[in-house]
Structure 1
Amino acid sequence: MSVCIHFLPDDIQIKAEPGEPLLQVAARAGVTIPTGCLMGSCHACEVEIDGEESVCSCISAVPPGRSHLTINLYCDPTW
């Protein structure tokens, strides 16, 4: 069962499969998420999921059991 991913603030939607890496989904959608270490240590790729929790997109995947997921991108001008 695919998951509808909604990227904010760009208002872009794309279908993804559970377990698919968030960075890969973003790249397919044409959304750029800044990265640094690609290991979850630097938090450059931190995004907010459904307005509740923050995760590092470099080490996170589309969760199973969801039909829709909203990913809000942060913008840190100092990075």
Structure 2
Amino acid sequence: MIVRVRFLPDDVIVDAEVGESLLHVADRAGVFIPTGCLMGSCHACTVELEDGETIRACITAIPPRDELTINLFSDPTW
């Protein structure tokens, strides 16, 4: 199943496979998501879904849905 992923605020859109790593999808789209530990513990890769839920991109796979909007924000401590 193909999911259309939109990265805000730059409105970059890329198609991804269900189960594909969100970090891999972002990289393929040319979108930078900062990382630290790559295990979800440091929260450097935290992004926000359109419904306000925050997730860690390094441990999140693309879920089965038609579209997914990711709001990128930077943490000034990283």
Shorter-chain TM-score: what band?
Answer: over 0.9
Task: Tell me if 1:74 matches 2:73.
Answer: yes
Quote how far apart the aligned CAs of 1:78 are: 2.0
RMSD in angstroms over aligned alpha carbons? 0.8
Task: Tell me if 1:56 matches 2:42.
Answer: no
**What are the equivalent positions in structure 2 for 1:1-79 lying under 5 Å apart?**
1-64=1-64, 66-79=65-78
> Which is worse superposed, 46-55 or 7-16?
46-55
C-alpha distance in 1, partners of 2:35/2:14? 21
1:69 match: secondary structure: strand
C-alpha distance in 1, partners of 2:50/2:2? 17
Runs of 4+ in 1 over 2 A off after TM superposition: none
Quote how far apart the aligned CAs of 1:51 are: 3.1
C-alpha distance in 2, partners of 1:24/1:40? 15
AA of the residue aligned to 1:55: I
TM-score where L is the length of structure 2: 0.95
Instruction: Structure 2: give runs of 5+ residues left out of the alignment.
Output: none
Query: 1:38–1:58: 8 Å Cα contact kept in structure 2?
Result: yes
Instruction: Structure 1: give runs of 5+ residues left out of the alignment.
Output: none
AA of the residue aligned to 2:25: V
Query: 1:50–1:71: 8 Å Cα contact kept in structure 2?
Result: yes
